[in-house]
């Protein structure tokens, strides 16, 4: 927008937020399926560094 090319905004936004949207979507999908939902917290407990990295991406 600041560069005077509003037509490029949507593509730039999609690129900048892609990782966040994919991770959020994956976590929401997993949480809505009973078999995977019950694995989220134990998985986070077993792999705290991976969980911390995922949380950091979402901040």
Structural domain that includes position 35:
6-58
Task: Count up the domains in the chain and report the number.
Answer: 1
Residue 3 has pLDDT above 90, yes or no: no
The per-residue pLDDT for range 12-59, each reduced to its tens digit, is 999 999 999 999 999 999 999 999 999 999 999 999 999 999 888 888
Residue 2 has pLDDT above 80, yes or no: no
What pLDDT is recorded for position 1? 59
Is residue 24 in a domain?
yes
Q: What is the pTM of this model?
A: 0.68
Is residue 1 in a domain?
no
Residue 2 in contact with residue 33, Cβ under 8 Å? no
In the block, tokens 């959020």 appear at: 24
Is residue 19 in a domain?
yes
Alpha-carbon dihedral of residues 42, 43, 45, 51, nearest 10 degrees?
Answer: -140
């Amino acid at each position: 927008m600041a560069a005077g090319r509003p037509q490029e905004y949507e593509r730039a936004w999609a690129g900048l937020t892609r990782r966040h949207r994919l991770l959020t979507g994956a976590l929401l999908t997993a949480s809505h399926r009973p078999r995977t939902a019950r694995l989220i917290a134990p998985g986070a407990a077993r792999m705290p560094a991976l969980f911390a990295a995922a949380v950091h991406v979402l901040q």
